[in-house]
Amino acid sequence: MKTLRKQRTISRTAEVTGFGYWSGKNVRVEFRPAPANSGIVFVRGDLDRPRRIPVAVEYRIEVPRRTALAADGCQVEMVEHILAALYGLSIDNCEIWVDGQEMPGCDGSAQPFVQALDAAGIVEQPAARRRLVVNDITRVGDDDCWIEARPLPAGRLSLKYKLDFGQNNPIGKQAIEVAITAASFRQELAPARTFILQEEADWLRQRGLGTRVTNQDLLIFGPDGVQGNELRFENECVRHKALDLLGDLSLAGCDLAGQFIAHKSGHRLNAELVKVLLKEGQMEQGQGLRRTG
């Protein structure tokens, strides 16, 4: 068994502000240090009293095109980029105080959150971080959209994502495979931005959603490619899907050891796989091994 790493939190408070893509409402996010074994928790500080929403797959609710969590009569939405940043940097304990329901979209990537967390600094804590080890091949989905977990030696985590928008589409087919470390996350995934097709953007705006979002806030693809913006990577779209996947996998509440392969998977399937793994996987803790479920 590979030695379990120490848990980590941030050294001091960090702040990110912006507006929600869907609602257009301004929102302030404050990352605060938290004790060992407390996990990641959102705190709605704008309500009648501070209400806590733990980051765990059992608190996930179904909301189109984004990850949302609900507890204690309130919810937070579009949390996947924040969760990816925390997981990618191996920050295990943090209180995320917010004054709104939807998290800021910023530039459509996880990079603003990574920069704020890096500036705050990261410190180790005395407790060991649990790790769930994938021992068998586990797949959820259907022939068109699926995601599976496979064993991977040495306690490592690897993501492989295949995106397919078809041949007559500016996005087309893209793929990426990346071994997740803090360095690879910062360089390969964190800067990748949210994307949408022009016809989808028009449809949403007609319904009063995303009216504050411009071409500079995310990637909007028309028939000839990105409109009013420039790609950071040739395959930026699939990199962002891998970023979203990492954020969803963090709902396991522990480190993951295995290879995760996704084909056109989205937030619902990602979370479904997490649920299955938590029931069937082998969890490593400071005192050895135990079986979950």
Catalytic machinery residues: 267
**Nearest Cα to Cα of residue 170 among 221, 232, 101, 236:** 221
Beta bridge partners of 173: 164
- Exposure string of 25-46, with b = 16+ CB inside 10 Å and e = fewer, is eebebbbbbbebebbbbbbbee
Tell me the C-alpha distance between 40 and 83, whole Å: 9
Report angle CA 257, 53, 117 to the nearest 5 degrees.
60
Tell me the C-alpha distance between 106 and 16, whole Å: 9
